[in-house]
Chain A
Amino acid sequence: MLDAVRCIVGRDLLLALRRRTDIATALLFFVVVASLFPLGIGAEPNLLRAIAPGVIWVAALLSTMLSLARLFAADHADGTLEQLVLGAAPLGVVVAAKTLAHWLLSGLPLVLIAPVIALQYDLPQPLYGVLALSLLLGTPVLSMIGAIGAALTLGIRGGGVLLALLVLPLYVPVLIMGAGSVEMAAAGLDPGGQLLILGALLVFSAAFAPWAIAAALRISLE
């Protein structure tokens, strides 16, 4: 079973490495969106410091959502997905591995680049750790919930916009806890509570999301 996970994750990473622009686009989108807010709102440092956690988290949400469409689409188009569904490895494990690969390609880069955006927004440096930690705990949840939506909208016309409508309301708790933890730390309070809840959401979705993704995939592929 772990062999299957290793194999699928390795394959997805290798495929992404051969088409690097896909990852770069989502990451660039994140940076561009985050850079638009000061232009629209004004570059008042206090204001920017106040909105920074929210803006970074919303940008992370949107960027993750954009990259969801290609989670299953390419495999669906060339028939690989059907082979994976029919294969010996349990489908729940297969989709968990694919989601893990998606997070490594779209979530982890966000965690790494977020401090740079935080620098743009003049966020105090002690908060970088909390911001990175909240993204580290939260972005896998985004990938997992998003994968349910991606599996449900597989091969549907207008799937991209529909995916946003399905997935974004479900992202609300992660957004609140993620941005909340950074704001909490900015106010000089202990962000532990929010981070623990983010961790709980991560554990909860890691336990149940693969089932939902697998069920959704089976429905989409029949």
Chain B
Amino acid sequence: MVDDSSTSRRQMRLALENAGIVVAEASEGVEGLWRARQQVFDLVLTDIHMPTMDGLEFIRELRKNPGYEETPIYVLTSDGSRDRLAEGRAAGATAWVIKPPNLPLLVDAIVKATASRRHSS
């Protein structure tokens, strides 16, 4: 999970860990890329508005990395702009979730997506 807000990361981490998902955190895009190169994750959840490297650039860069061509990348953002959503699609995002998320539904979707990734690999 890549988000500059420790509050937001912590909220998501608690919800995901309760569902048995192991979560790694990064506070912005560059750190997220570094982590993604250390270990291949089943799913990436990212904010858009972050310092140093924002979420859109992070997604574009991440997609260039081996093992991340097909990885689900969910954007979790408060930005409700349709222009930004289109930019997210072009960058390679898989889903766009408006904060605050419906946590049970989002966690369920992540559990299914990660399970399906593990099954196919």
Mutual binders A and B: no
